[in-house]
Amino acid sequence: DIQMTQSPSSLSASVGDRVTIACRASQSISTYLSWYQQKPGKAPRLLIYAASTLHSGVPSRFSGSGSGTDFTLTISSLQPEDFADYYCQESYIGPGAFGPGTKVDVK
Amino acid sequence: EVQLLESGGGLVQPGGSLRLSCVASGFTFGPYAMGWVRQAPGKGLEWVSGITGDRKTTVYADSVKGRFTISKDDSKNTIYLQMSNLRAEDTAVYFCGKDKTYGDGRWELDSWGQGTLVIVSS
């Protein structure tokens, strides 16, 4: 099975900061990688799919990059509504593992 | 507007069974793959099961294989998750989700329900 890791597990940031979250797969998954945002008590929200394609309606401050085993989610200028948990998820062979998540909170 | 509404959660004893439902609206249901994802209290997300639009392919997490069954009724715009032999570790909020891509499942969920809570406890 493919294992997903994320780093950091949490980070504290301020509005306007550039934030980067890393996701690593235990084997190559090409670009079968999605990113989700989840706020407390809410369902996840798809941000990025195919590693770098912004889902419809997602602000352009979010971007994704990477292929193979290493991926990155970047928020170019953190906004108040971006404080949340972020998960990567691979879908190389069927629906696959989520990463353990990264919590972005207020510094 | 796409809407997904889960139901069927509740308190069940270990070893018991439960059937979750997810009714979809706002899109042409038949061709889209659908899935179930769960989240234990205070924990991360875990894929549970998925089914392709044509119902030919179903997938399960190892943790539920042999105990859970996913199904899809296009006449009712509904997917189901039949859960049996439930364990304490199945306690979670169960979300249903719609695949983003028309046709074969890509397992990128672009719409989600609000979730239904399953508690397995004696």
Torsion angle, CA of B27/B29/B32/B33, rounded to 10 degrees? 120
Please tell me the predicted confidence (pLDDT) of residue A96: 82
Please tell me the predicted confidence (pLDDT) of residue B105: 81
* B68 has pLDDT over 90: yes
> How far is CA B78 from its chain centroid?
10
Amino acid (one-letter) located at A90:
E
* A93 has pLDDT over 90: no
* B122 has pLDDT over 90: yes
Burial class (CB in 10 A: 0-12, 13-18, 19+), A71: buried
Please tell me the predicted confidence (pLDDT) of residue B70: 98
**Å between A16 CA and nearest CA of chain B:** 27
List beta partners, residue B20. Answer: B81
* A95 has pLDDT over 90: no
Please tell me the predicted confidence (pLDDT) of residue B121: 97
At A11-39, the pLDDT tens digits run 999 999 999 999 999 999 999 999 999 99
Report CB contact under 8 Å: B107, A94: yes
At B32-66, the pLDDT tens digits run 999 999 999 999 999 999 999 999 999 999 999 99
Share of chain A above pLDDT 70, in %: 100
**Å between A80 CA and nearest CA of chain B:** 22
Show which of residues 55-114 on chain B sit within 8 Å of chain A, judged by CB atoms: 59, 62, 95, 97, 100, 105-110, 112-114
User: Touching check for B34 and chain A: CB below 8 Å?
Assistant: no
Substitution target from A9, A46, A52, A103 for chain B, most B beta carbons within 10 A? A46
Mean pLDDT of chain A: 97
